[in-house]
Structure 1
Amino acid sequence: MSKNYEKVKNYYDKGLWNENRVYHAVGKWITPEEYEQITGKVYTEEEDA
């Protein structure tokens, strides 16, 4: 588990971060798998990322 997983999950659960903000934390703060655990949605990379 990433060191910031609980922090990001808490922000999302409290409504402080939306799904887009969590998405952009992937690779910096959390893994794609953790994104899926937090949001319940499949992580897909942007075409022009």
Structure 2
Amino acid sequence: MSKNYEKVKRLYNTEAWPLNWVQDAVNRWITAAEYQEITGKEYEKE
């Protein structure tokens, strides 16, 4: 699990972070697989 996984999950679940911010965190703070766990959506690179 990435170092910032719990932080990103908490921020997303409390609606402090919108979905696009979680997308921006992929490969910086979290992995694509963790993105899917947090959001329930498959990560699609823009």
TM-score bucket (shorter structure): over 0.9
Structure 1 runs of 4+ aligned residues shifted over 3 Å read: none
Return 5+ residue gaps in structure 2 as ranges.
none
Question: Tell me, which stretches of 5 or more residues in structure 1 are unaligned?
Answer: none
Give me the CA root mean square deviation.
0.4
Rg larger for: 1
Using the alignment, how far apart are the partners of 1:9 and 1:45 within structure 2?
Answer: 19
Q: Report percent identity of matched pairs.
A: 57
TM-score norm. by structure 2 comes to 0.96
Q: Report the Cα distance in structure 1 between the residues aligned to 2:10 and 2:34, rounded to whole angstroms.
A: 13
